[in-house]
Amino acid sequence: MEIKGRVACITGTRRIGGRVGFELAKKGAKVALIYNRSKQEAETVAKEIRAIGADAVTIQADLAQVIQVKLMVSQVIKVWGGIDFLINLASIYNSSPLMEITEREWDNNININLRSAFFCAQAVAPAMRLRGGGRIINFTDWTAASNRPRYRGYIPYYVSKMGIIGLTESLALEMASENILVNAIAPGPIIPPPDLSKKNIKKVKENTPLGRWGGAQEIVKLVLNLVESDFITGECIRVDGGRHIY
């Protein structure tokens, strides 16, 4: 599917999401940046997009609330008349020992990492059908794509990201006849979290066969490939520098 003139809706615009939005805009897409609390980051990316002569809007939404998901989608459609690409990047990542996991923490992981991806896909489906198809890209994790939890203390996160893989395959089957292609990306060491120590940053590099962190551009390249492809659907692709084979 050609990118120029298309409408892209990106949830989770901090870090990688902002770069994905900017690169889609460079190729001629109109970009809706969806944020919950990261307004400043979303506005900064929108300003960068407008500076190159492309179109961008920012929309606040709590994607754990289905009513807000539907409102967000209706706002994008009201501005540009439809939606062609949905990039589900919204996610949370935190750690808790088994016996300290609370109901709230479990629900937050499932709601934000998994539930929101489903309801965003459901909400954009009618608009994509009207435009003859679309592309949906979900985000899981390299550990989930490797079918094993490599780290203790991340049960709700890991379960939610395993769910994304099943969701992607199910959506791909359901939507194939309508030319809506659905895939998942499973990042590994892409950008170090801001609270990660220099020691752990180095350790991750040493445990990655390619010996480095990938950088946001590696995710961008795959997103562009998947939205342009007309024959890839139901796939989960790791971008982890070979981390899973170490």
**Mapping DSSP to helix (H, G, I), strand (E, B) and coil, where does residue 85 land?**
strand
CATH of the domain spanning 7-245, picked from 3.20.20.80, 3.40.50.620, 3.40.50.720, 3.40.50.360? 3.40.50.720
CA distance 70 to 123: 6
pTM: 0.97
Contact 239, 207 (CB under 8 A): no
Specify burial of residue 94 (Cβ count, 10 A radius: 0-12, 13-18, 19+): exposed
In which order are the strands placed within the sheet that holds 134-139?
56-60, 30-35, 7-11, 85-88, 134-139, 180-187, 236-239
Residues identified as active-site? 157
Token pair for residue 47? Answer: 């300003």
pLDDT 10s digits, 48-57: 999 999 999 9
Token pair for residue 134? Answer: 């679309």
- Strands (E) across 3-158 are located at 7-11, 30-35, 56-60, 85-88, 134-139
pLDDT 10s digits, 97-123: 999 999 999 999 999 999 999 999 999
Give the domain ranges of the chain: 7-245
Q: Apex CA 112: angle with CA 108 and CA 116, to 5°?
A: 135
In this model, does residue 42 exceed pLDDT 90? yes
pLDDT 10s digits, 134-173: 999 999 999 999 999 999 999 999 999 999 999 999 999 9
- Tell me what pLDDT residue 193 has: 85
Residue pointed to by tokens 């890839």: 232
CA distance 245 to 150: 12
In this model, does residue 15 exceed pLDDT 90? no
By percentage, how much of the chain surpasses pLDDT 90? Answer: 96
